Amino acid sequence: MRKMFWVIAILALAGCGEGKSVDTPKPRPPVEPATAQVSGPQWDLEVRGETPQAVSDLSGWLIEHSFMSSVVKENGQTRILMGPYNSRAEAQAKQDEVRASLTRAKKQNIELLVLERPAVQ
C-alpha cells in the first residue's frame, strides 16, 4: 500500500510542470503607442433630444442599436456626440444611417447635426 502511495505521488508531481516551457522568454522590444496623424479637420455627429431628460434615454437607445456615442458635458450642457469622423461625407453617411434607424423606431423630435470638431492644440 505504501509503495502505491509513493508511485501516485511521484506521478502527480511529475505532471505538475507539464506544458510549461523550459526556455526563458525572449525580451520584446518596447511598443510605442500609435499616434493618429490627422491631416485635416475632424467631424462629429451631435444627437439632440427635445428635453434634457432625453439624454439618458437617447444614449441608451443608441447603445441598444449598436451606435457608439459619448456623453459630454460642456459649459453646463450635456451633449451626445458620435465620432470623430475624418471627413464631412463620412459624418453625413452616419447621420443618414442613424436617421433611418430613428425613423424605423418611430422616434420623433430628435436632431442630428454634423459639427466640425475644434482643433486640439
Q: State the average pLDDT over residues 8-25.
A: 66
Instruction: Tell whether 78 is covered by a domain.
Output: yes
Instruction: Tell whether 5 is covered by a domain.
Output: no
The enclosing domain of 54 has a CATH number of 3.30.70.120
Instruction: Tell whether 33 is covered by a domain.
Output: no
The domain tally of the chain equals 1
Q: Contacts by 75-83 with C-beta closer than 8 Å and gap 24+?
A: 78/52, 79/46, 79/48, 80/46, 80/47, 80/48, 80/55, 81/44, 81/45, 81/46, 81/47, 82/44, 82/45, 82/46, 82/47, 83/42, 83/43, 83/44, 83/45, 83/117
Instruction: Tell whether 64 is covered by a domain.
Output: yes
Instruction: Tell whether 102 is covered by a domain.
Output: yes
Which range marks the domain in which residue 113 is found?
42-117
Render pLDDT for 48-104 as a digit per residue (tens, 0 to 9): 887 766 788 888 999 999 999 999 998 888 899 998 999 999 999 999 999 999 999
Instruction: Tell whether 34 is covered by a domain.
Output: no
pLDDT for residue 118 is more than 70: yes
Judge if pTM exceeds 0.95: no
Instruction: Tell whether 82 is covered by a domain.
Output: yes
Instruction: Tell whether 53 is covered by a domain.
Output: yes
